Amino acid sequence: MTEIQHVLNEERLFPPSPEFSAKARIGSMREYQQLYDRAAENPVEFWSELARKELHWFQDFDQGMVWNEPFVEWFVGGKTNACYNCLDAHLNSETRDRNAIIWEGEPGDVRTLTYAELHEQVCKFANVLKSRGVGVGDVVSIYMPMVPELAITMLACARIGAVHSVIFGGFSAEAIADRNHDAQAKVQVTADGGWRRGKVLPLKETVDAALEKSSSVETCIVLRRTENDVVMKEDRDFWWHELMAEASSDCPAEALDSETPLFILYTSGSTGKPKGIKHTTAGYNLYAKMSFRWVFDWRPDDVYWCTADCGWITGHSYIVYGPLSNGATAVMYEGAPNHPEPDRFWELVEKHKVTTLYTAPTAIRAFIKWGDEHVEKHDLSSLRLLGTVGEGINPEAWVWYHEKIGSEKCPIVDTWWQTETGGIMMSPLPGAIPTKPGSCTVPLPGILPAIVDESGESVSEGAGGWLVFTHPWPGMLRGIWGDDERYQDVYWSKVKGSYLAGDNARKDQDGYYWIMGRIDDVINVSGHRLSTIEVESALVSHPSVAEAAAVGKSHELKGQAISAFVTIKEGEPNEELRNELKQHVRKEIGALAVPDEIRFAAAVPKTRSGKIMRRLLKDIAEGREQVGDTSTLEDYTVLANLRDDES
Ligand code: PRX
């Protein structure tokens, strides 16, 4: 038996309000279906038409797509530039003077940059990079706080055809050195520090240690942000402001082949070495632009805020390339959501009159735990649309987001995608698709998902199986940096002709998709294959539970038993609650999903990007990692910190 059983039923349906639909770009299911069908009929023609309309071409392309599985090229023969599409394309319209970025630092300092101002800064920094010998194909490693200069650096690279590799500011020196070595980075861009929970993160110090081991890096450019003391190494380290002072703002965008690499972004594999996911210029740019417009139903007067860090794909596609190529105004925030108080996000929404908020379920669960009083202090009436990304959202958290943040009037877009997909693949289009809590609903136009079993055959209706995509799309990764074999093996070897996403999913009777967790995380209890997300959602629907993680642990009779790790909203855990939670799962799902073991955790250990560290939890459940007394609140922070590679 290879199919995964679906055991949790969610029947609530939330259609968009007629007012929302009336103003939306795509305002009905029928309109969506027409667009979807047209795209599905001939995806290459569909994307080619859009590419000609939406991107600037220094030279038109002559082939829409060339597909030599597993390698794809889009818009072959054409020349464009992602930075040009994000900035120059707006300079002759009223967008020129619109804010591109509204930035707020953690200490409360605010800076805004119009499209014209951002363009000028990017041109200058592009010239700085050129003066340090950077040209087409050279890799620039970026390790910075969430400041406008991070976006400026990314765009400056795109402008001259250099490849950026952004490394999240929480990674260690070792992790930076590994990535710099793998990419053979030539220049490092960093800052003296960044603000996090009122303290300075000493970024330059970490970079100094990394550069000891990064022999390919010739130059390090340092932005002054926190004014803390740093050591500058002669002939290698230069201050951002000194180089910028001498730089000209005249720097025409290079006409680049469509498939010129735009960036590398490292993401963890299931084992060992991180994978350098490669994205290229034209296809990625088009996909980020269109998916942003469709999913966020973007309007010129929106103030859009994606709370992700540019160190992740969400920041690349939905802070930088997607919003800017549409001419949107994006909010960027440097610091923690609970500094100085747990109401910081809501203060920002009120202050900047944010209309669209895009955040992660892990943050939403934290807000629930911190208490509604922090939300209620603020006027959130500017919001019209909410989104989530990064992991499944448990229906209870979804409903809280809908009621407390969205005042029951904002549609929620639960967006499913991956670093590899470049952009959102499945999500409600908010004016057209009624939502169901916990479902990422339907594929975007031009995206062709299927659910198959291990032999590549379609599963029976409603059953869970592997999520695959049967046709390439423009935002698709082009490979793993320097490792074609691994690329072929991970994504293309298991199901012939299809991209294997590595997630399980099912499709319900309305054609809605429900993500069930990673393929490796399925729990097999007495031959019943259960999805982690469903067990977790059942636990989170209990009023005392803030967060839950379910993993399989070996069991002599059942094959596997469920071990659940639970954080509670307040108070001390006790035996009574443990039994109550088991009863609750029995009621919600049935006896087969009742966890054999429930452990109370001070916090569920997370990777730096907010995903549950399941491998660590499995090791704990199996007794391979010792944590001592399991009757009280367990703290896994120390263990989690040791697992640098799981990020
Ligand atoms: O398992 C899925 C989960 O996150 C994985 C991709 O992670 P990453 O490359 O870090 O990208 C995160 C930001 C796009 C997926 O394979 N995931 C992401 N979004 C969702 C999700 N799982 C369920 N629902 C989602 N909306």
Mean of the per-residue pLDDT values for the chain? 95
**Contact between residue 404 and residue 391 where contact means Cβ atoms under 8 Å apart:** no
Output the pLDDT for position 180: 98
| Domain boundaries of the chain, sorted by first residue | 522-646
**Contact between residue 376 and residue 342 where contact means Cβ atoms under 8 Å apart:** no
Please report, rounded to a whole number, the percentage of residues in the chain having pLDDT higher than 90: 88
Output the pLDDT for position 477: 98
CA of 413 to the centre of ligand 1 (A): 14
Output the pLDDT for position 271: 58
**For 79, phi and psi rounded to 5 degrees?**
-130, 125
Rounded-to-integer distance, Cα 219 and Cα 132, Å:
7
Ligand 1-lining residues (CB < 6 angstroms):
267, 313-314, 389-392, 414-419, 440, 501-503, 515, 518, 609
CA of 391 to the centre of ligand 1 (A): 5
pLDDT at 309 over 70: yes
**Contact between residue 438 and residue 393 where contact means Cβ atoms under 8 Å apart:** yes
**Contact between residue 38 and residue 47 where contact means Cβ atoms under 8 Å apart:** no
CA of 217 to the centre of ligand 1 (A): 32
Mutate to test the pocket of ligand 1, among 166, 515, 647 (most ligand atoms within 8 A of CB): 515
Output the pLDDT for position 526: 86
CA of 418 to the centre of ligand 1 (A): 5
Which amino acid residue places its CA nearest to atom 11 of ligand 1? 418
pLDDT at 212 over 80: yes
Output the pLDDT for position 375: 98
Ligand 1 atom at minimum distance from 308 CA: 13
Query: What average pLDDT score do residues 240-254 get?
Result: 98
pLDDT at 631 over 60: yes
How far CA 153 is from CA of 23, 46, 122, in Å, comes to 36, 32, 7
Rounded-to-integer distance, Cα 311 and Cα 172, Å:
13
CA of 169 to the centre of ligand 1 (A): 20
Confidence label for 636 from pLDDT (cuts 50, 70 and 90): confident
Rounded-to-integer distance, Cα 380 and Cα 17, Å:
18
Rounded-to-integer distance, Cα 175 and Cα 179, Å:
6
Rounded-to-integer distance, Cα 393 and Cα 450, Å:
22
**Contact between residue 374 and residue 345 where contact means Cβ atoms under 8 Å apart:** no
CA of 39 to the centre of ligand 1 (A): 24
For residue 129, which of 280, 254, 232, 234 has the smallest C-alpha distance?
Answer: 254
Which amino acid residue places its CA nearest to atom 2 of ligand 1? 391
CA of 89 to the centre of ligand 1 (A): 31
Paired with 76 in beta bridges are 63
Confidence label for 558 from pLDDT (cuts 50, 70 and 90): confident
Neighbouring CB atoms inside 10 A of 160's CB total 23
Question: Strands 329-333, 139-143: parallel, antiparallel or unpaired by DSSP?
Answer: unpaired
CATH class, range 522-646: alpha beta
203-211 vs 173-183: helix axis angle to the nearest 10? 50
Which spans in 230-299 are helix H? 240-246, 281-295
**Contact between residue 495 and residue 468 where contact means Cβ atoms under 8 Å apart:** yes
Identify the three-state secondary structure at position 150.
Answer: helix
Quick: pLDDT tens for 399-445: 999 999 999 999 999 999 999 999 999 999 999 999 999 999 999 99
Burial of 251 (0-12, 13-18, 19+ CB in 10 A): buried
**DSSP conformation letters of 413-470:** EEEB--GGGSS--B---TTT--B-TT--B-BPTT--EEEE-TTSPBPPTT-EEEEEES
> Within a 13 Å sphere around the CA of 212, how many CA atoms are in the beta-carbon half?
9
Query: What average pLDDT score do residues 304-310 get?
Result: 97
Gap between the terminal Cα atoms of the chain: 32
CA of 443 to the centre of ligand 1 (A): 15
Please report, rounded to a whole number, the percentage of residues in the chain having pLDDT higher than 70: 98
CA of 57 to the centre of ligand 1 (A): 32
Query: What average pLDDT score do residues 137-154 get?
Result: 98
| Region at 156 (left for phi over 0; alpha for psi -120 to 50; beta for the rest) | alpha
Output the pLDDT for position 269: 66
Q: Of 645 and 566, which is predicted with more confidence? A: 566
Which amino acid residue places its CA nearest to atom 8 of ligand 1? 418
CA of 205 to the centre of ligand 1 (A): 32
Mutate to test the pocket of ligand 1, among 415, 476, 503 (most ligand atoms within 8 A of CB): 503
Neighbouring CB atoms inside 10 A of 399's CB total 18
Output the pLDDT for position 647: 45
Burial of 41 (0-12, 13-18, 19+ CB in 10 A): exposed
Which amino acid residue places its CA nearest to atom 7 of ligand 1? 418
Task: List all residues 6 or more positions away from 139 whose beta carbon is below 8 Å from its beta carbon.
Answer: 162, 163, 164, 165, 183, 184, 185, 186, 264
Rounded-to-integer distance, Cα 577 and Cα 296, Å:
41
Query: What average pLDDT score do residues 364-370 get?
Result: 94
CA of 53 to the centre of ligand 1 (A): 30
Ligand 1 atom at minimum distance from 415 CA: 26
For residue 329, which of 357, 295, 351, 302 has the smallest C-alpha distance?
Answer: 302
**Contact between residue 285 and residue 85 where contact means Cβ atoms under 8 Å apart:** yes
Quick: pLDDT tens for 604-627: 998 888 889 998 999 999 999 877
Which amino acid residue places its CA nearest to atom 5 of ligand 1? 418
Which amino acid residue places its CA nearest to atom 13 of ligand 1? 390
Mutate to test the pocket of ligand 1, among 416, 425, 469, 606 (most ligand atoms within 8 A of CB): 416
Confidence label for 629 from pLDDT (cuts 50, 70 and 90): low
Paired with 507 in beta bridges are 513
Mutate to test the pocket of ligand 1, among 394, 418, 426, 613 (most ligand atoms within 8 A of CB): 418
Which spans in 65-147 are helix H? 82-86, 115-131
Which amino acid residue places its CA nearest to atom 23 of ligand 1? 392
Ligand 1 atom at minimum distance from 424 CA: 14
Displacement of CA 206 from its chain's centroid (Å): 24
Which amino acid residue places its CA nearest to atom 17 of ligand 1? 391
Output the pLDDT for position 628: 62
Neighbouring CB atoms inside 10 A of 340's CB total 14
Tokens representing 337 are 């959501």
DSSP state at residue 5: P
Query: What average pLDDT score do residues 8-26 get?
Result: 94
